[in-house]
Structure 1
Amino acid sequence: MAGKSELERRREERKGEKRDATLYLNERSTQQQLELLLNKAVRLKPDDLFGYLTRELSCLALPVTVYQVTGSRIIDLGGETAVKVTVHCTINGVSEVMQSAICSFPLPVVVTPVARSQSSLSRNSKQNSVTEDPVQPDVSANSLNTVEEIVTKSSELLKNKKIAELESLDTCLKSLDVSLPDEVTVCMCASWTISLALAKSACDLLHKPLYELLFAMNGVENETVCPPVVVARMLSGGTVSNGKLKIRDFSVIPAETDYEEGIRNVCKFHKALGSVLSVKYGPSALAVLADGSYAPSLDKPEQAFDLLQEAMTMSQLEWKTHLLLAVNINASCGYDPEKNRYELTSGQWKTRDDLLTYYTDLKEQRPELVSLENPFTDQDSGSWCKLSERLGEGFTLIGETGRPEASDEDKPEQDIQSVESLSAMVDKITWNSQSTITQLCQTSRTIMSGTRQLLLNCDSNVNSDCVADVAMGVQTKYLKLPAPSSFDFLGIYNRLVQIYHHLKSRDNKSDSRS
């Protein structure tokens, strides 16, 4: 009797399982859907039956949604603590780990005594004795806690949102209400990193590269796509070096019409420059900054130009034929508002007119020079206009986005003209300065809707695996990169070449079809 009751119990369990299975399948109309698909497949007779069924069944699946966003502390290349942001998605009812991005904190801005405004000094009297020594990065516990708080709140906001709807996700990120520390850049950096991880996750699911996702967001047609012009930092001065030279950095730009060959020339030049510095200053001169550039002790601009010329000779390249020159003056850090003077070399002060003459003469002496970045303060719009007029077409002036416009009374009578109207101007956006991918796309569209162009500036605190895709996707005219001094940075250059060849081969295929 005991065996019989056990048998009956098992039968009842099996009947219950069958009832549950039937109910589960009927609620989802499984049999009807499969019959429709099989009948359709019989009519079409595709060669890859199971591939066809897989594609059709995927259309019936629930959309992939965000399950959670997590943050974990890691150590970055500089030995500082960073936060790795990881996106988890619900796929077919199961939580899966997707893509990650690194939230490295921006290096602090080093401000010289003369550049610091009186108002900022009064706000912090302890900093009245400011030196020009480089300030080391200081990632405070507050900053790390803030990033983790932002990640936690974003996870709550984004839960169950469709991962493919990136613009909607970014809108949620912009609505974050977080008690911020003094540095607003920390919140911006965290929000940008989350947005980047979401975009990379969406690309994984859509089986397309990040730049193509951004093409769709920006409404970019394949026929109009142009790869960004690379601006590669080579030499650095200012507060990051021990010399008297205040100019921030010297960069090279490929002049080759062949994109890959231009990138190759940049790498050859950087290697040759290292050899020149090693011979002149010893092996210790081969040490590079976080952005990959060399920072020898230089006291005047001519020394930098001579080193670049020696590297050009050693690399068997030629100015204008293979490479062009760009200089970041960073005049704001050498400007004294009380003296109303600029300082490009310690102890040597120049008026606006002196600088105008210097830049004009420099362009005549060095025809390879095609760009100046921040040659005057943002407010000195009259001098920007004069310089643009003197240097003429074909020369590029680069300034910060959102540059304040001087009032008419501050401008000379002949210069009642906004810097914003200069066609030679390029607006610079720094990586991490936008809160989301969507905001970067909107900013780039706004800038390039007129006659202006965009430069995306990337320092060492970047997610190097997606810099090239983002720059290509938003169609920035210029991409300022760290020198190719490490595998991470070199990977950005190689990715640019890879995307270029992919787009080129696709264009060739479309031409052959037509």
Structure 2
Amino acid sequence: MSCGATAGSHTQQTAAEYYRSRRVPERLEEALNTIYHRGAADVYGQLSCYFADLSDPPVISDVRGRKVFDGAGKTTLEAAVMCTVRTVNKRICTAAIPVDSALLPTGEVSEDTERLESVETAIRWIQESIGPALRGKRPSEQSAIDQLLRALQEIPLYSHIAGLKQQQQPPPELALPTPLISVLSCAKSSPGKLNLMKEILVIPKPGTEVAKSLDLASSLQKQILKQVETQSRENRRVPSLSDLSVFSPQSPLGCPHSRTATALDQPLELIGDACERLGLDLGTSVYLAINCAAHQLMDDNKGRYEIASGTWKSPEEMVRCTWDLIHRHPAIMALVDPLRKEDRQQWDTLGKAIGSRCYLLADVAMRSRGDLQQGSDPLVCSGPILKLTNETTVSDLLMAVRGIEGENRLTILGSSCEECAEESLVDLAVGLGVRFIHLGGLLRGERAAKYNRLLQIEEDLTRSGTLGRQEEFEFPALWNNMEVSTLG
């Protein structure tokens, strides 16, 4: 026998043993028999599906970071996870993380420079530390890489988050968070004189379908604009963009600015009139919330809040002002940042006065990873608005939600003002089981994408029969036994 024939025989034997050790002949015979009995028309397609199930599980090949733009046109971070799937290197998922301007260091350099340096630092961290640490690992072994599980294992991200929260299988039913939907802005950055109402939001009553809630908010917003137009015509002038600044680049919250409001009651009366014209029972079928953003109104030198141009209030006067507003407009069931968190005594006084019928929510109570990891919030409030920004991780939020629920307080997940068109935040809110989700208005693409995702999740849960029921609104009894000064 020639040397060539001997080498060929040895190769055949080695190849046969290679395939036999991996049970290829057995698997191939099984596949051919199965496909034949099924009478499949696409034989090769069936073979591909059969052997795809036997392939090695995906492994992470790289994690990459790059600069992208958020909804306000500012630099932010996008991370992409690459996996080897059936011998092919693929980009499995991406996530854009908004950079919260409130948490950037302040100094002599501009905010844009600080933001760019922050993003570039994060990119280096991803490429030099995170990527090498995750290469070769299976995505299913990394609980923090939630988007991978959604893409590779066909498990919805919200179900995976719910399982992490329960530390077991996801619950049999999931209730959707109630959306806080922005319909009007009277902030300090708005052209009008009123500063106190950064956002006026509508809150649908518990049990309202997401689709109906969004239709309600959209109809209300259109009616408000229609009334402004009618008022302009009655004043014998044509409404201009200064009246209806809906798509102004200065409106990142996704709702119109009010350019004419000068008094606290004015925008609330406008909304009340719009509800009446639409047949909505304000205070029964729909409620209101006000994001005061008081920390943006404080003049540190004066120690006072500028609630309207030239109108200043001390912390004590702010309590009285807010208390009066709630009594004049009982449909208001939530206030966001009615005071700075530094004015804790006034927070307690306000909570004692109205906390049994109005939520006092703190957007600045837990903003950084350090705040979340402290495990407790020194500010007494109905609940903090949690945000997935900067270095905050899903694990941080899981820990925070468990702690807040253990204190019998509300859990709220919010989006950043400078938001990206990244919709996984909605999955996170559903999986965490938060009571409210704050996404802003309906007029910007990056916010509409999140509302559309909420609609999709509602449809999925309804179709699978796993949509849970929302509980009625209950107000935490946090101030009942607290010794604080009362309003005279």
TM-score tier by shorter-chain length is 0.7 to 0.9
Equivalence for 2:12 = 18
Q: CA deviation at 1:47?
A: 11
Question: Could you tell me how far 1:433 is from its partner in structure 2?
Answer: 5.1
RCO higher in 1 or 2 (8 Å CA, sep ≥ 6)?
2
Match of 2:207 in 1: 257
The amino acid of 2:217's aligned partner reads: V
More deviation, 309-318/154-163: 309-318
Change (3 A) 1:477 1:420: farther
Q: Is contact 2:199–2:290 with CA below 8 Å preserved after alignment?
A: yes
1:342 pairs with one of 288, 305, 316: 305
Q: What residue is the counterpart of 1:480 in the other structure?
A: 438
Partner amino acid for 2:352?
E
1:452 deviation in Å? 1.0
| Deviation digits for residues 30-89 of structure 1 (CA, Å, limit 9, x no counterpart) | 456778x78x989xx9999x9999999777543321111123444554444444422111
Pairwise CA distance, 1:354: 2.2
Which residues of 2 match residues 367-378 of structure 1 at below 5 A?
A: 367-378=330-341
Aligned to 1:161: 137
> Alpha carbons of 1:203 and 1:509: their partners in 2 closer, same or farther (altered >3 Å)?
closer
Q: Is residue 496 of structure 1 aligned with residue 446 of structure 2? A: no
1:331–1:321 distance in 2 versus 1, CA, 3 Å = same
* 1:190-339 alignment, distance < 5 Å: 198-219=145-166, 222-223=171-172, 225-247=174-196, 248-255=198-205, 257-259=207-209, 260-279=211-230, 280=232, 282-284=240-242, 285=244, 286-288=246-248, 289-297=251-259, 298-337=261-300, 339=302
- In 1, Cα distance between the equivalents of 2:309 and 2:241? 27
- Partner SS state of residue 60, structure 2: strand
Query: Contact conserved, 2:98 with 2:389, CA < 8 A, in 1?
Result: no
Partner of 1:432, secondary structure, is coil
Please point out which of 362, 374, 393 is paired with 2:356. Answer: 393
Equivalent position of 1:415 in the other structure: none
**1:67 and 2:68 correspond:** no
Provide the C-alpha distance between the structure 1 equivalents of 2:456 and 2:467, rounded to a whole number of angstroms: 17
8 Å CA contact 2:70–2:420 kept in 1: the answer is: no
Change beyond 3 A, Cα 1:464–1:316: farther
- Secondary structure of 1:476's partner? coil
Question: Which aligned pairs between 1:87-106 and structure 2 lie closer than 5 A?
Answer: 87-106=81-100
2:397 is matched with 440
Alignment: residue pair count: 437
In structure 1, C-alpha distance between the alignment counterparts of 2:444 and 2:80, rounded to whole Å = 25
* Same amino acid, percent of matched pairs: 20
In structure 1, the partner of 2:120 is 145
CA contact (8 A) 1:324 1:370 kept: yes
CA distance in 2, matches of 1:235, 1:373: 15
In structure 2, the CA distance between the partners of 1:282 and 1:212, relative to structure 1 (3 Å rule), is same
1:366 aligns with 2:314: no
The structural deviation recorded for 1:224 is 5.5
CA apart distance, 1:339: 4.2
Contact 1:234 1:293 in 2 (8 A): yes
Give the direction of change, closer, same or farther, for the CA distance of 1:379–1:73 in structure 2 (3 Å limit): closer
In the TM superposition, residue 274 of structure 1 has moved relative to its aligned partner by: 3.2
Distance 2:304 2:101 in 1: 27
1:94 offset after TM fit, Å? 3.1
Contact (CA 8 Å) 1:431, 1:462: kept in 2 or not?
A: no
**Residue 451 (structure 1) aligns with:** 408
Q: Which deviations, in whole Å up to 9, do the C-alpha atoms of 1:436-465 show, x marking residues without a partner?
A: 222222221221122011111113413443
Q: Distance in 2 between matches of 1:149 and 1:349?
A: 46
Change in Cα spacing, 1:218 to 1:420, as seen in structure 2 (3 Å) is same
8 Å contact from structure 2 (residues 174, 466) kept in 1: no
Shift of 1:228: 0.5
Unaligned runs of 5+ in 1: 111-119, 128-134, 171-197, 405-417
Query: Retained in 1: the 8 A contact 2:139–2:148?
Result: yes
| Structure 1 pair 216–46 and aligned structure 2 pair: CA distance change class (3 A) | farther
Cα deviations across residues 387-426 of structure 1 (Å, max 9, x unaligned)? 122114232110133499xxxxxxxxxxxxx98695x611
Whether the 8 Å CA contact 2:80–2:92 is kept in 1: the answer is: yes
1:385 shift after superposition: 2.0
Distance of aligned partners of 1:398 and 1:166 in 2 relative to their CA distance in 1, 3 Å threshold: same
Q: Which amino acid in structure 1 is aligned with residue 154 of structure 2?
A: H
Instruction: Indicate the SS of the match to 2:389.
Output: coil
- Equivalent residue, structure 1, for 2:465: 507
Does the CA contact (< 8 Å) of 1:267 and 1:484 recur in 2?
Answer: yes
Conserved 8 A contact 1:232-1:252: yes
Q: Report the 3-state secondary structure (helix = DSSP H, G, I; strand = E; otherwise coil) of the residue aligned with 1:164.
A: helix
User: How far is 1:283 from its partner?
Assistant: 3.5
Offset, 1:484: 0.9
Runs ≥4 residues deviating over 6 A: 32-35, 45-48, 50-59
* Amino acid across the alignment from 2:461: L
* Cα-to-partner distance string for 1:350-384 (whole Å, 9 max, x where unaligned): 23332222222211111111011111221322222
Q: Name the aligned partner's letter for residue 458 of structure 2.
A: Y
What RMSD over aligned residues (CA atoms) do the two structures have, in Å?
3.9
When structure 1 is superposed on structure 2, of 344-353 and 370-379 the one drifting more is 344-353
SS in 2 for 1:222: coil
Aligned equivalents of 2:48, 2:357: Cα separation in 1 = 54
Give distance in 2, aligned partners of 1:433 and 1:148: 12
1:482–1:365: structure 2 CA closer, same or farther, 3 Å change rule?
A: same
1:28 equivalent in structure 2: 22
- Is 1:237–1:245's contact at 8 Å kept on the other side of the alignment? yes
Q: In structure 2, do the counterparts of structure 1 residues 166 and 343 end up closer, same or farther at CA, with 3 Å as the change threshold?
A: same
TM-score (norm 1): 0.73
8 Å CA contact 2:367–2:386 kept in 1: the answer is no
